Structure 1
Amino acid sequence: MHPAFPRATLSMLAAALLLAGCSHEEAQEKGGGRGGARGPAQVGFVVVQPTSVAQTVELNARVTAYEQSEVRPQVAGVIRRRFFTEGSIVRRGQTLYEIDPRIYSAAVSEAQANLQSARANAEATRVNAERLRPLAQMEAVSQQEYTNAAAASRQAQASVAQTQAQLETARINLRFTSVPAPITGRIGRSLATVGALVTANQTEPLAVIQRLDPIYVDIQQSSADLLALRRALSRDGVAPGRAAVRLKLEDGSDYGLTGTVEFAESIVDPSTGTVTLRARFANPNGLLLPGMFARAVFAQSINSRAFLVPQPAISRSPAGEATLFVVCPGNKAVQRKVVANLTQGTNWVVTQGLQPGDKVIVQGTGNLRPNAPIQPVPANSPQRVAPPQGGQGGQGGQSGAASPAKGG
């Protein structure tokens, strides 16, 4: 055999295989292939309409007492007795401590004696002035002598008033030897023991009383978020929210009872850049204690022009921008940028980028390309499985039409 014959034979075989491959691809493009015709991709869509959506936020919070009062002495002395059990509930006006009252009782007795002396002196000077008045009119005594007697009488009356005030002060100090509870609440540990010397100007209190039912929760919100909220409230479609506040405890559990926001401070903390919002909660079981950290969840506003879009419909770019596909005239998939910063259940809350009646693609978005032709059907519509074509048995494809399955 000639050496060139095998090379010529191989070249002819390669050309034949190439022509066969091209013919096969062309046949598939024209619908004659094993998989059948490839029509537009079938996608499921939902029609979106605006609805009222609460703009829910979750912020850091700290529990603080509803009322708090430090028990302090108002007179100096030695504590003789303590009348309460540490950690118990005390009532307003209940006596908590007794300071040695003997020196103050003696001061009351002294003030009473001084008052009696002042009254006696006032009576004597008054009688003397009245006796000299007719004599001065008859010029039996000088007018100056009567004037001095009348002035002495008035001074004695003023002395009576002064000593009476001193007596009242002494009585008040005597009452201060019994230290009462200023508010009703739970009292902590006693910071002073029996026998300790206390003074009216000491820095450390005797004890601290806190009212824990109801109780306050101070919520911290950044001033930037609050500014954005106020701007949103000034636009149409956004109204202040009145939803109750829920509380998540440090262990992740839900507190169970809801609270209400009482007020927001009108100043920004310069060290943290936050504004404090105060909420009030019922605390019947004493579960919340001052100083505890928590997370407050509540709706600050209600957007009446938001759209709820199923989460699978939205994808995000590396920069974090949210996009989705909508069905446009001509059955083409058009990609749009939207604003979706919050979720509600299994939906994204879209606040910008959609119009009422838009058909948002929620199924079959995996391989979609912008402006690609599509076959839109309502979401969750069953597909009709086409019978095998060309006698290929199990190699048959699926048609793109969407209708209830008819069996077969």
Structure 2
Amino acid sequence: MNKAAVSLRAALLAVLGLLSLSGCRSERVPESGASTAVDSAGPVAQHDGAGEAVSVIRLEPQVLPISMTLPGRVLAYETSEVRPQVGGIVTRRSFVEGALVQAGQPLYQIDSSRYELAYAQATAALAGARAAVPLARATLARERTLLASGATSRQAHDQAVAELARAEAGLNEAQAVQRRASLDRDYAVVRAPIGGYIDRSSVSAGALVVADQAEPLTRIHRIDRVYVDLRQSADQLRDMRRMVERAGAMPSGKASKVTLTLSKGETYATVGRLDLTESRIAPDTDTVALRAVFENPDRTLLPGMYVQANVVAGNLRDAFLLPQRAVTRDARGAAVVWIVVHGKAVQRVLSDVQPYGNNWLVNGGMAAGTLLIVEGEMHIREGQAIKTEEVHIDTASGLVTGRANSAASSSTAAKGHP
């Protein structure tokens, strides 16, 4: 081999050596604990607990009552206006105003002298009418015998028949007059038509009263059981029915349950029932009338009292309550929440949310065990790996009241529980 060929070969080997050395220097071995390279799409999701820390709560389905709060007024279960059925001078009042009276108890005594006299006259007239009937029957019997033998005329017989009919009619009339006189005498004692608590009296002894007068002598209210009259707007009624139909609510029973809140905020201990819902809307107020019934043995509820009634129309199945702090609105006004799916943050738009107390009610679109982000959502983005810490929310204030074991929460998120 000549010297030129040898020189050329040596030069080529030298160039190849330099290129190999340059390639080895350009490689960089990853240092221990360094992060994995990311592509243009963003960080690679990992389940090692790395990423932004967020607070979550675990959603569980509930059976929730569908209810409405309505203003109402208490009414007596029964109210009777006491009026006299006969006229005369009141001689005595026999009750204590404001006291409990029983049905049939005497309340007033009206001077009954003339009614006693009328009864005596009616009794005497009745006795005369009774005596006339046997005489007329005996006369008719004789006329029948004489007519059969031809000793009397048909006209005389017919007159005897008519006399007996008039005697019997007179007896019936006398009996009716005596009964009327007896009623008038009894009505001179004005009695309580129902049992209950009696109002003040509008008359005193010596007052002149007339039968069926316009002004009542007093009033009696039965309040051991009371009505509560409620008013519901037509729009509220339609919304309630729409919610029940859309959510497939379970009926709460034959009669809806009703609870009361009194004027100072205390809750009435006894639960009532809805007794009436009118089938028409009042044109002047655009409202529907409802009526509830409550037992009231202690007279806590008095007629005219203002109350707030909570009426339960049914129960929602598989309902989820979301804290207000977890729900935001997007640019189009739709309700949006952040949840954890396989350790990543996922934004979900809720198609139908409704206010329920201090929370948002979602019926559908959620699954049992869903981890809902309630804190830290401002610093995350869609698909980002996150570290979760399970907390508790106070339903009344909406504030975080307790925190679960963060390590256990992160482990649950890493398992990919939706």
TM-score (norm 2): 0.74
Within the candidate set 369, 384, 393, 1:373 is matched to: 384
> Counterparts of 1:2-13 in structure 2 under 5 Å?
none
Equivalent residues of 1:362, 1:379 under 8 A apart: no
Structure 1 distance, partners of 2:153, 2:147, is 6
1:245 aligned residue: 258
Q: Deviations over 1:75-97 (max 9, x none)?
A: 12221111001000000110001
Q: Which amino acid aligns with 1:305?
A: D
- Partners of 2:349 and 2:306 in 1: CA distance: 41
Amino acid in the other structure paired with 2:261: K
2:188 pairs with 1:177: yes
Which SS does the other structure have where 2:271 is aligned? coil
Q: 1:206 is matched with which residue: 186, 198, 217?
A: 217
Structure 2: tracts of 5 or more residues without a match: 1-36, 38-49, 392-403, 412-418
User: Contact 2:338/2:345 (CA < 8 Å) preserved in 1?
Assistant: no
**Quick one: percent identity of the two aligned structures?**
36
In the other structure, the counterpart of 1:192 is 203
> What CA distance in whole angstroms lies between the structure 2 residues aligned with 1:292 and 1:354?
44
After superposition, what is the alpha-carbon deviation per residue over 1:18-68, rounded to whole angstroms, capped at 9, x for unaligned? xxxxxxxxxxxx9xxxxxxxx953323334343211223221111111121
Aligned residue pairs, count: 348
* 2:59 alignment counterpart: 48
Instruction: Give the CA deviation at 1:365.
Output: 2.5
Cα displacement string for residues 263-316 of structure 1 (whole angstroms, at most 9, x for unaligned residues): 433333333233333323232332211111110124321111211223321235
Structure 1: 5+ residue stretches without partners: 1-29, 31-38, 385-400, 404-408
Deviates more, 1:204-213 or 1:334-343: 334-343
1:351 alignment counterpart? 363
The question of whether the paired residues in 2 share the 8 Å contact of 1:42 and 1:374 is answered with: no
**Native 8 Å contact 1:215 1:281 kept in 2:** yes
Name the stretch that deviates more: 219-228 or 84-93: 219-228
Please identify, of 311-320 and 136-145, the stretch whose mean Cα deviation from structure 2 is larger.
311-320
Report the equivalent of 1:125: 136
Query: Residue 65 of structure 1: SS of its match in structure 2?
Result: strand
Aligned-residue offset at 1:194: 1.9
Q: Quick one: distance in 1 between partners of 2:115 and 2:88?
A: 10
In structure 1, distance between residues paired with 2:268 and 2:241: 29
CA contact (8 A) 1:338 1:354 kept: no
Normalising by the residue count of structure 1, what TM-score does the alignment of the two structures yield? 0.76
Distance 1:294 1:368, change over 3 A: farther
Contact conserved, 1:79 with 1:97, CA < 8 A, in 2? yes
SS in 2 for 1:245: strand
Deviation, structure 1 residue 201: 2.7
Q: In structure 2, what is the equivalent of residue 272 of structure 1?
A: 285
Which has the larger displacement, 119-128 or 288-297? 119-128
Counterpart check, 1:309 vs 2:322: yes
Secondary structure, aligned partner of 2:126? helix
Q: Is the 8 A contact 1:45 1:376 kept in 2?
A: no
CA distance in 2, matches of 1:46, 1:203: 68
In the alignment, does 2:350 pair up with 1:337? Answer: yes
Cα 1:319–1:218, aligned 2, differ >3 Å: closer, same or farther? farther
